[in-house]
Amino acid sequence: MTDVLMVEDLAVRFRGESGVVDAVEGVSFRLREGETLAIVGESSSGKSVTALALMRLLGGPPNCVVRGRATFMRQDGEALALLSLPETRMASVRGRDVGMIFQEPMTSLNPVHRIGAQIVEGLLAHERLSPRAAEKRAVALLDHVGIPEPALRARAFPHQLSGGMRQRAMIAMALACRPRVLIADEPTTALDVTIQAQILELIRALQHETGMSVIFITHNLGVVAEVADRVLVMYAGQVVEDAPVDVLLHRPQMPYSAGLIGSVPRLDDVRRRGGRLAAIPGNVPDPNTRPAGCTFHPRCAHARPDPCETARPALEYVSDGHTVRCARWREITV
């Protein structure tokens, strides 16, 4: 399978009133054609910032500096260096080559424009279409993402639709120009559980149909188990483990990954442990005061003063397609 997106050493640094914050450091990954890559981590682990940096949707310098390389392979074989394209070229990549959907369907749609018009706008930005043809396409897209009475809904304003419908409309909008890559930033987090399942199913069906690749950002490992082919676990702005989904879920090497998996609530655990939920002790460190050595060591049950507190561990090769950032991964069983 060919690579669609190659990210090398992506780093994002924010400069604010409270000082310099490295939100993302040295993130590298490859996204293959038709693959779903899940990026997993707690809040402020840098997963959304990674996605926004790739789309160039973060603010510009001097307050935000993005470094590294990201190469996107277009359908016609042209390689685009996403991070160094001129802004006008980048605008033509967004929406056409890479689509994006967001966490909050409530606030991500413009409240004063009709749903149909918001889809039409994206179509007209990238394709030579008459406004009428674009409107027809918009209605067809709404129909395609499972919105009943699509012609009527196209005339509706966002506040007139339910949360699930809005997220479907967002998906229709992001996929309007059949992008090669869809970045879904926590697309189900704000939705009811039953609606979540429907949206996941919809994304999967659309992916199957179009062969697009998906970057799925989530903190929900249940979702990961359902949608992902490969998982990138992020902690404090770095990738700490990168593995195929079944390897990660069953044989994680990084204690943090294991902790995440262990804290998924399960019914048999409730019976066994008297209803207490497992949790990783402590919190994600404040980006201003990240601990020396392994950033996870203060929360890690396997941490030793040496080597965990002395040097920042490197990503190490475990097996094909599996890397881990843990100095002691060979010695410990997590």
> From CA 284, how far away is CA 32, in angstroms rounded?
30
- Residue 12's alpha-carbon distances to 18, 62, 98, 159, 312, in angstroms, are 16, 12, 20, 35, 18
Q: Based on CB atoms, which residue is closest to other proteins, 47 or 297?
A: 47
Q: Which stretch binds other proteins (CB under 8 A): 15-23, 35-43, 94-102, 223-231?
A: 94-102
Q: Which stretch binds other proteins (CB under 8 A): 105-113, 133-141, 191-199, 303-311?
A: 105-113
Q: How far is the CB of 71 from other proteins (least distance, A)?
A: 19
Among 14, 29, 102, 216, binds other proteins (CB under 8 A): 102
How many residues of this chain bind other proteins (CB under 8 A)?
A: 31
> From CA 190, how far away is CA 106, in angstroms rounded?
9
| Nearest CA among 115, 75, 140, 125 for reference residue 95 | 125
Print the binding letters for residues 107-126 with other proteins: x by CB under 8 A, - otherwise.
Answer: xxxxxxx-------xx--xx
Q: Is there binding between residue 300 and other proteins (CB under 8 A)?
A: no
Q: Which stretch binds other proteins (CB under 8 A): 9-17, 168-176, 200-208, 295-303?
A: 168-176
Q: Is there binding between residue 274 and other proteins (CB under 8 A)?
A: no
Reduced to 3 states (helix: H, G, I; strand: E, B; else coil), residue 107 is coil
Q: Which stretch binds other proteins (CB under 8 A): 1-9, 18-26, 85-93, 271-279?
A: 85-93
Pairing assessment for the beta strands 181-185 and 98-101 based on DSSP bridges: parallel
Q: Edge-to-edge, what's the strand order for the sheet holding 64-73?
A: 19-32, 3-16, 64-73, 79-81
Residues in the chain: 334
Contacts of 60 (CB under 8 A, 6+ apart): none
Q: Which stretch binds other proteins (CB under 8 A): 10-18, 27-35, 93-101, 213-221?
A: 93-101
Q: Based on CB atoms, which residue is closest to other proteins, 76 or 87?
A: 87
Q: Is there binding between residue 163 and other proteins (CB under 8 A)?
A: no
| Nearest CA among 274, 275, 241 for reference residue 259 | 241
Q: How far is the CB of 316 from other proteins (least distance, A)?
A: 35
Q: Rounded to 5 degrees, what angle do the CA atoms 315, 318, 324 make?
A: 35
**Contact positions vs other proteins (CB under 8 A):** 55, 57, 87-88, 91-96, 99-100, 102, 104, 107-113, 121-122, 125-126, 157, 159, 170, 173-174, 177
